């Protein structure tokens, strides 16, 4: 298998909240690129190409996750390099104020976690990322849909007939599964570290499991 070549201003309140929350986050976070600089980062919520149409992160925001998640991403990257591919991160740690904005824009539990239900978004606990593939030259490859595409094309199990797209999404899923991630039924780009519950307070983990239990995908 090989990859195929395929040819701001933030809101003041949200920006302040992001800077404050990220600086005082009660969880340990590391920059993904500090663990593996070859992983490409394009935070979609730092620009306008997202479901809100507005930047929600200030310029210069880094892709942060828990150290264990960063190590697992590095493992997935090493695997993908064997196939002349690599990871591109669309989102990582997401402060709660940003999750609130996304929920206000979507109000759809299939795609956006209600910040007041369960543990909110697992992005806000540093245990989830949104990722896609790039080729060896960091160019995007063909995938089932774009980011924040709330259509059947975004489903974990690709239902299209294009063998190139099928091979790309399958490769991404294999790499992330082997590195210790679960997928999400409604978003092919979303991955959560498999042992995520141990990183949350017990009661939060229990409530989150009740909310997300039917959404996980592990089998290909």
Tell which residue, 41, 19, 14, 59, has the closest CA to residue 129: 41
Q: What pTM, to 2 d.p., does this model score?
A: 0.85
12 has pLDDT over 50: no
Cβ proximity of 8 and 46 under 8 Å: yes
Torsion of CA 106, 110, 112, 117, to 10 degrees: 110
Distance of CA 179 to the CA centre of its chain: 15
Q: What is the mean pLDDT of residues 139-150?
A: 95
33-58 pLDDT, tens digit each: 999 999 999 999 999 989 899 999 99
> Can you tell me the distance from the alpha carbon of 118 to that of 110, in angstroms, rounded to the nearest whole number?
14
Confidence band (pLDDT; 50, 70, 90) for 220? very low
Q: Which of 22-31, 191-200, 210-219 has the lowest mean pLDDT?
A: 210-219
For residue 214, what are the CA distances in angstroms to 186, 208, 210? 11, 11, 8
């Amino acid at each position: 298998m090989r990859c195929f070549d395929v040819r701001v201003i933030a809101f003041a309140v949200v920006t302040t909240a992001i800077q404050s929350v990220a600086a005082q986050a009660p969880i340990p976070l590391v920059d993904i690129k500090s663990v593996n600089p070859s992983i490409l980062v394009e935070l979609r919520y730092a620009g306008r190409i997202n479901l809100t149409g507005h930047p929600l992160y200030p310029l210069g925001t880094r892709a942060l996750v828990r150290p264990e998640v960063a190590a697992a991403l590095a493992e997935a990257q090493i695997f993908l390099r064997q196939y002349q591919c690599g990871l591109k991160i669309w989102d990582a740690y997401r402060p709660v104020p940003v999750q609130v904005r996304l929920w206000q824009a979507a109000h759809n539990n299939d795609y956006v976690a209600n910040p007041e239900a369960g543990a909110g978004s697992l992005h806000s606990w540093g245990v989830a990322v949104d990722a896609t593939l790039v080729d060896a030259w960091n160019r995007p490859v063909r995938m089932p849909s774009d980011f924040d595409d709330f259509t059947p094309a975004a489903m974990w199990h690709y239902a299209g007939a294009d063998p190139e797209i099928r091979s790309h999404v399958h490769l991404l899923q294999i790499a992330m599964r082997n590195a210790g991630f679960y997928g999400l039924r409604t978003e092919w780009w979303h991955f959560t570290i498999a042992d995520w519950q141990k990183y949350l307070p017990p009661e939060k983990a229990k409530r989150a499991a009740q909310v997300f239990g039917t959404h996980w995908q592990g089998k290909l």
